[in-house]
Amino acid sequence: MKRKRRTFTDDFKQQMVSLYQHGKSRSEIVAEYDLTPSALDRWITQASQSGSFKTKDNRSPQEQELIALR
């Protein structure tokens, strides 16, 4: 049976990043909230780069240029 893809609000993502920044271990957060480690890592990276969880806000300058050229 195929698993349904879960979606998370920006508020939830920010709360998870905040827990991590305040000292809770990555493995504790992943286990407690049933997340994938890659999702949490992506949220932490996005929050530190742009403060946004939207893909368009986290594109590199090269990616933005390629999109503009299309």
Query: Could you tell me the pTM of the whole model?
Result: 0.68
Does the residue 62 lie in any domain?
Answer: yes
Does the residue 3 lie in any domain?
Answer: no
Helices (H), 1-70: 10-21, 26-33, 37-49, 61-69
- Condensed to tens digits (0 to 9), the pLDDT of residues 10-52 reads 899 999 999 999 999 999 999 999 999 999 999 998 888 766 6
Does the residue 2 lie in any domain?
Answer: no
How confident is the model at residue 51, as a pLDDT? Answer: 66
Spatial distance between the Cα atoms of 44 and 24, rounded to a whole number of angstroms: 13
Give me the number of domains the chain comprises: 1
User: Which string of b and e fits 1-25 if b means at least 16 CB within 10 Å?
Assistant: eeeeeeeeeeeebeebbebbeeeee
Does the residue 44 lie in any domain?
Answer: yes
What residues have CB less than 8 Å from 24, skipping those under 6 apart?
Answer: none
Name the residue range of residue 39's domain.
10-69
Does the residue 55 lie in any domain?
Answer: yes
